[in-house]
Amino acid sequence: MTDPETLSVTIVDGYVDEPAHFGVPPYISTYPRYAAGALVDAGVPRERITYHTIDRLRDQPDYWRDVDEADLLVYLGGMTVPGKYVGGTPAEPDEVRKLAWTATGTSLMGGPVKFGVGEENAGATETERQDLDFDFVAKGDVEAAVYDLVESGLEGFNNRMRDIDEVSRWAQEGAFIVDQHPNHPEYLIAELETSRGCAYRCSFCTEPLYGNPEFRPPPTVVGEVDALSDHGVKHFRIGRQADILAYGGDGEAPNPDALRQLYSGIREVAPDLETLHLDNMNPITIVEWPEQSREGIRIIAEHNTPGDTAAFGLESADPVVQAENNLNVTAEECFEAVRIVNEEAGWRPGEDPEDAPTFGDDAPRRLPKLLPGINLLHGLKGEREETYEHNRAFLQRVYDEGYMLRRINIRQVMAFDGTDMSDTGAEIANEHKQLFKRYKKQVREEIDNPMLERVAPPGTVLPDVHLEYHQDGKTFGRQLGTYPLLVGIPGERQLGETVDIAIVDHGYRSVTGVPYPLDLNAASMNELTAIPGIGDSTAGDIVVNRPYESVTDADLGTEFDLSRFVTTRPLETAD
| Interaction site with ligand SF4 (CB under 6 A) | 19-20, 198, 200-202, 205, 207-208, 242, 282, 313, 328
Nearer to ligand SF4, 77 or 197 (CB): 197
> Least distance (Å) from ligand SF4 to the CB of residue 201?
6
Task: Kindly give the pairing relationship between strand 461-471 and strand 474-478.
Answer: antiparallel
Nearer to ligand SF4, 328 or 475 (CB): 328
> Least distance (Å) from ligand SF4 to the CB of residue 317?
15
Q: Which long-range contacts (CB under 8 A, 24 or more apart) does 556-565 make?
A: 558/533, 558/534, 559/533, 560/531, 560/532, 560/533, 560/534, 561/459, 562/531, 562/533, 562/534, 564/365, 564/458, 564/459, 564/502, 565/459, 565/502, 565/504, 565/514, 565/516, 565/517, 565/518, 565/531
Nearer to ligand SF4, 66 or 207 (CB): 207
> Least distance (Å) from ligand SF4 to the CB of residue 115?
13
> Least distance (Å) from ligand SF4 to the CB of residue 225?
23
> Least distance (Å) from ligand SF4 to the CB of residue 111?
18
Nearer to ligand SF4, 356 or 428 (CB): 428
Nearer to ligand SF4, 261 or 282 (CB): 282
Q: Using alpha carbons, select from 385, 476, 382 the residue that is nearest to residue 420.
A: 382
| Contact by Cβ (8 Å): 490, 413 | no
Nearer to ligand SF4, 19 or 82 (CB): 19
CA distance 473 to 460: 23
> Least distance (Å) from ligand SF4 to the CB of residue 336?
17
Nearer to ligand SF4, 213 or 306 (CB): 213
How distant, in Å, are the alpha carbons of 215, 220, 235, 257 from that of 247? 7, 13, 21, 10
> Least distance (Å) from ligand SF4 to the CB of residue 72?
32
CA 251 to chain centre: 23
> Least distance (Å) from ligand SF4 to the CB of residue 129?
20
Nearer to ligand SF4, 211 or 557 (CB): 211
Three-class SS of 97-166 = HHHHHHCCCEEEEECHHHHCECCCCCCCCECECCCCCCCEECCCCHHHHHHHHHHCCCCCCCCCCCCHHH
CA distance 86 to 370: 23
CA distance 99 to 90: 14
How distant, in Å, are the alpha carbons of 130, 133, 178, 205, 381 from that of 115? 9, 16, 26, 11, 20
Question: Rg of the chain over CA atoms, in angstroms?
Answer: 24
| Contact by Cβ (8 Å): 141, 108 | no
CA distance 61 to 164: 38
CA 168 to chain centre: 23
| b/e burial code for range 214-239 (CB count within 10 A of at least 16 → b) | ebbebebbbbbbbbbbebebbbbbbb
Positive or negative, the Cα torsion across 456, 459, 464, 468? positive
Nearer to ligand SF4, 23 or 313 (CB): 313
> Least distance (Å) from ligand SF4 to the CB of residue 204?
7
> Least distance (Å) from ligand SF4 to the CB of residue 405?
18
Phi, psi of 386 (to 5 degrees): -60, -25
| Contact by Cβ (8 Å): 527, 464 | no
Nearer to ligand SF4, 246 or 259 (CB): 246
Nearer to ligand SF4, 30 or 229 (CB): 30
> Least distance (Å) from ligand SF4 to the CB of residue 158?
27
